């Protein structure tokens, strides 16, 4: 196998065979291909695309680049969910313990931030001691005894994806449907899932900014996953504004704890979390209908069972035993906090959501290069939802920063990212479409 020949053929729009794709991915995972060649391959796929069969072959090759877990000793249904990412999208942090509290086993293999979107692993690393890379024995024990474990790709799970994932982030090739599909599904299939639900974001803060592109990605994910043998459904959800009222690593963990304790009821975030919990429970055969699934999930949340599962998971994976009760004592806090004032009276009608995510990156809460360290303290919170009536000077968000200069600069930028109008905007749906 000559890497440059495979790159050339894909660059010229030819269809690669499953054997060619497998050989290239195997060489990449064994570090026999340079970073430049991997980047060139990613760019060729970005511009030329892949057929369904090529995408299935890429997904399976990346899955098979490492171990594939088997859960024969676990009696619970093995289920998971994945999101294509957005701003303030911390659904996974609450969803996994809710699903576990309802009787599912959720070995959730998550990723780091990509571009303007936050990463579940980066958020969890805000928790002192939390081990995002447990060995297989600890992973199995946690899933078996507690019901869920949110972790990263260990060195044995889809190692080819880990390398390609980092290179895509810094080469402007994130928004490729075949690469997104293969990246997501290779990790999920390596986890040995029986069922999967997908959250595909669309809007100004998503990688897919319009509904047609989001549907294209969604159908690719569902089609390839089913083609690989995993029953899958998907919801397309709105990302024209941040989903949670916080964006930033430790701040989103605070948001998660607050949610599990019941203080985020009635929000867009709750709508999405409960919708995906219902999907997971129906897919796994635990309930007969989506309404039954939502009711079961709401009960797990309101009873405190889901919060208990989250606390136990954190402790099992190395975090503090009393994290749920004393999270503010453990999470890092930025030294400077300033508010973002509304520039005029009126209604919050629109926001540039991707730019809000990039503001978090500018604060140090994301990466410009794969090697960048993250400041878990920084970010935005107190973000008011669109449709809120405000008066001039009222806080519409708060900036948490490492220093006064960054705080004031980002506060000014964030203020300009919101459009305020005299009339209230039309209400929008949070869950836009179901495909399955």
Q: Which residues belong to the active site?
A: 80-83, 120, 168, 183, 187-188
Residue 271 CB contacts under 8 Å (≥ 6 apart), including other chains: 430, 431
Structure tokens at 374: 């993250």
CA 71 to chain centre: 24
Residues contacting 401, CB < 8 A, separation 6+: 334, 335, 336, 337, 338, 363, 378, 407, 410
How many angstroms separate the CA atoms of 114 and 103, rounded?
Answer: 31
For residue 105, list its beta bridge partners: 78
Query: Residue 96 half-sphere exposure, CB side, CA atoms within 13 Å?
Result: 28
Exposure of 263 in the CB half-sphere (CA atoms within 13 A): 7
How far, in Å, CA of 157 to CA of 67, rounded?
5
For residue 4 the two structure tokens come to 């440059």
**Integer angstrom CA distances of residue 393 from 139, 234, 316, 407:** 49, 41, 45, 17
Token pair of 77, please?
Answer: 């249904």
What is the distance between the alpha carbons of residues 374 and 367, in angstroms, rounded to a whole number? 7
Q: In what order do the strands lie in the sheet with 246-247?
A: 246-247, 379-381, 395-401, 336-341
């Amino acid at each position: 196998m000559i890497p440059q020949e495979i790159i050339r053929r894909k660059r010229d729009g030819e269809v690669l065979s499953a054997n060619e794709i497998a050989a290239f991915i195997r060489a990449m995972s064994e570090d026999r291909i340079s970073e430049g060649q991997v980047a060139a391959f990613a760019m060729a796929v970005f511009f030329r695309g892949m057929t369904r069969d090529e995408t299935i072959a890429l997904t399976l090759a990346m899955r098979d680049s490492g171990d594939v877990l088997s859960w024969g000793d676990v009696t619970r249904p093995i289920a998971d969910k994945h999101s294509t990412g957005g701003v303030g999208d911390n659904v996974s942090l609450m969803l996994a313990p809710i699903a576990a509290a309802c009787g599912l086993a959720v070995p959730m293999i998550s990723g780091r931030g990509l571009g303007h979107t936050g990463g579940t692993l980066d958020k969890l690393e805000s928790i002192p001691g939390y081990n995002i890379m447990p060995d297989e024995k600890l992973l199995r024990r946690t899933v078996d005894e507690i019901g869920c474990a949110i972790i990263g790709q260990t060195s044995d799970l889809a190692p080819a994806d880990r390398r390609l994932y980092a290179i895509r982030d810094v080469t402007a090739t994130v928004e490729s449907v075949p690469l997104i599909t293969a990246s997501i599904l290779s990790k999920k299939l390596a986890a040995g899932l029986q069922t999967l639900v997908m959250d595909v974001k669309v809007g100004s803060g998503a990688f897919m900014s319009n509904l047609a592109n989001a549907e294209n990605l969604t159908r690719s994910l569902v089609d390839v996953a089913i083609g690989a043998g995993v029953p899958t459904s998907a919801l397309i959800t709105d990302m024209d504004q941040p989903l949670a009222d916080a964006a930033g690593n430790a701040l989103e963990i605070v948001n998660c704890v607050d949610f599990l304790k019941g203080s985020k009821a009635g929000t867009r975030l709750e709508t999405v979390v409960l919708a995906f919990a219902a999907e997971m429970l129906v897919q796994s055969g635990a309930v007969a209908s989506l309404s039954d699934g939502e009711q079961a999930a709401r009960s797990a949340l309101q009873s405190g069972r889901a919060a208990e599962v989250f606390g136990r998971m954190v402790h099992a994976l190395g975090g503090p035993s009393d994290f749920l009760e004393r999270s503010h004592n453990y999470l890092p806090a930025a030294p400077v906090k300033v508010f973002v004032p509304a520039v005029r009276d009126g209604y919050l009608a629109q926001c540039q959501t991707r730019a809000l995510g990039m503001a978090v990156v500018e604060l140090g809460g994301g990466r410009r290069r794969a090697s960048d360290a993250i400041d878990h303290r920084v970010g935005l919170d107190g973000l008011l939802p669109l449709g809120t009536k405000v008066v001039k000077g009222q806080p519409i968000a708060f900036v948490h920063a490492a220093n006064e200069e960054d705080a004031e600069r980002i506060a000014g930028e964030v203020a300009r990212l919101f459009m305020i109008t005299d009339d209230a905007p039309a209400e929008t749906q949070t869950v836009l479409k179901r495909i399955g």
